[in-house]
Amino acid sequence: MTAAIELQDASRAFGAVVALDRVSLAIAPGEFFALLGPSGSGKTTCLRLIAGFDRPDSGRILLEGEDVTDIPPYDRNLNTVFQDYALFPHMTVAENVAYGPRVRGVAAEERRRRAGEMLELVRLGSYGDRRPAQLSGGQRQRVALARALINSPKVLLLDEPLGALDLKLREEMQAELKGLQQRLGITFVFVTHDQGEALSMADRVAVFSQGRIEQLDTPRGLYTRPRTAFVANFVGSANVVLGPAAERLTGRSRPFAIRPELIEVLPAGATPAEGTIACSGTLEDVLYHGASSRCHVRLDKATLLAVSRAESAAGAPLPPQGSRVQLAWRPESMVHLEAG
């Protein structure tokens, strides 16, 4: 099957700063794909190359197997939802949505009808005559979506689409975007720095760091089998235990990661279960998060571990801060990381 989007060894530098360093990736048709990374990691540059707003210094970009490296954005069959939505302030909502058909020479009557349909799709049917400035952030976002989808693109690119929304709206829009993508069956590529967003929405995630892809995997794969310390830390904040500390705990110097919720907290005198790795330390603090609590335990072997304990967990309540505790985990909970 031909990939919807393919990057082959794409590089892009801005002066001395290498934004993208020989990145290759293939996105399947109909996939919900996330480009995840901290700011400056190259994810936005990657999106801009796909959209055609920027050209790679070397390497190629293919859309459905066709080399589009030198094709300007207006001749590429994909559309973008911008981080700031980029709605035209001098046009009404309906004119904004109808802009794509308008510049492609669709008759006024036909494009008015299609713009109306798209606005219905994003549940803004009665807002056509307003100006973008009269809408809330969430409504503007939906207008931007309708405007990008009206040309029936094969691929929709979304640049931090939910970044400017407040938490509650963000969660609503996550579900809405996911539903929309499944209904339309087109490829969605979205850029985000929010790992929770990437994990909950995407089919596959490419984690970027310093212009390279650290790991490309399903959300579950990234969470349960991070390959590097960066991914383990960035995706769902695991405990990353490096060489010397790892050797003291497990007898092997290979670094490993362990998720906070896979560690059990036991009172100082208790006997850990058969086959677990156990160690003792001091409970430094407890942060209450509602569904769970997060404890920081300073181990006697000089490492700090975060432990997450569900409020619904059975067993004795947490001992007070400053008390001695034991931590125990099953060896298979540890994920060994690539060195470096």
Partner 1 sequence: MLRSVSTFFQRRNAFYVSLLLVPPLLWLGTVYLGSLFTLLSQSFYAIDEFTARVVPTLTLATYRQLVTQPANVDIVVRTLLMAVAVTIACAVIAFPVANYMARYAGSKMKALFYVGVMLPMWFSYLVKVYAWRLILAKQGIVSWAFTSLGLQGALDALLATPVVGGPSLASSYIGMFIVFVYMWLPFMILPLAASLERVPASLLQASADLGARPAQTFRNVVVPLALPGLAAGSIFTFSLTLGDYIIPSVVGAPGYFVGMMVYQQQGTAGNMPLAAAFSVVPIVLIALYLTFARRLGAFDAL
Strand partners, 282: 298, 324
If binding is defined by CB under 8 A, does position 73 make contact with partner 1?
yes
How many chain residues are in contact with partner 1, going by CB under 8 A? 24
If binding is defined by CB under 8 A, does position 72 make contact with partner 1?
yes
Label the pairing between strands 324-329 and 277-288: antiparallel
Rule CB under 8 A: choose which of 13, 86, 277, 313 binds partner 1.
86
CA distance readout (Å), 256 to 5, 104, 262:
34, 55, 13
Rule CB under 8 A: choose which of 90, 168, 183, 220 binds partner 1.
90
Map the footprint of partner 1 across residues 236-255, applying CB under 8 A: none
218 backbone dihedrals φ, ψ, rounded to 5°: -75, 160
Quote the least distance from Cβ 32 to partner 1, whole Å.
Answer: 20
CB-based burial, 306-327: b 16+ in 10 Å, e otherwise: bbbbeeeeeeeebbeeeeebbb
Quote the least distance from Cβ 90 to partner 1, whole Å.
Answer: 5
Map the footprint of partner 1 across residues 146-165, applying CB under 8 A: 147-148, 151
Quote the least distance from Cβ 26 to partner 1, whole Å.
Answer: 22
If binding is defined by CB under 8 A, does position 88 make contact with partner 1?
yes
176 backbone dihedrals φ, ψ, rounded to 5°: -65, -45
Rule CB under 8 A: choose which of 11, 79, 174, 326 binds partner 1.
79
CA distance readout (Å), 281 to 70, 112, 131:
60, 68, 60
Interface segment toward partner 1; rule CB under 8 A; list 88-96, 192-200, 212-220, 248-256: 88-96
Interface segment toward partner 1; rule CB under 8 A; list 69-77, 211-219, 247-255, 324-332: 69-77
Return the structure tokens found at 278. 């156990």
Interface segment toward partner 1; rule CB under 8 A; list 62-70, 79-87, 111-119, 197-205: 79-87
**How far apart are alpha carbons 275 and 331 in whole angstroms?**
8
Return the structure tokens found at 37. 């990374």
Q: Is 83 left (phi over 0), alpha (psi -120 to 50) or beta?
A: alpha
Interface segment toward partner 1; rule CB under 8 A; list 97-105, 177-185, 272-280, 322-330: 97-105
- What residue ranges bind partner 1 (CB under 8 A)? 51-53, 72-74, 79-80, 82-84, 86-90, 99-100, 102-104, 147-148, 151
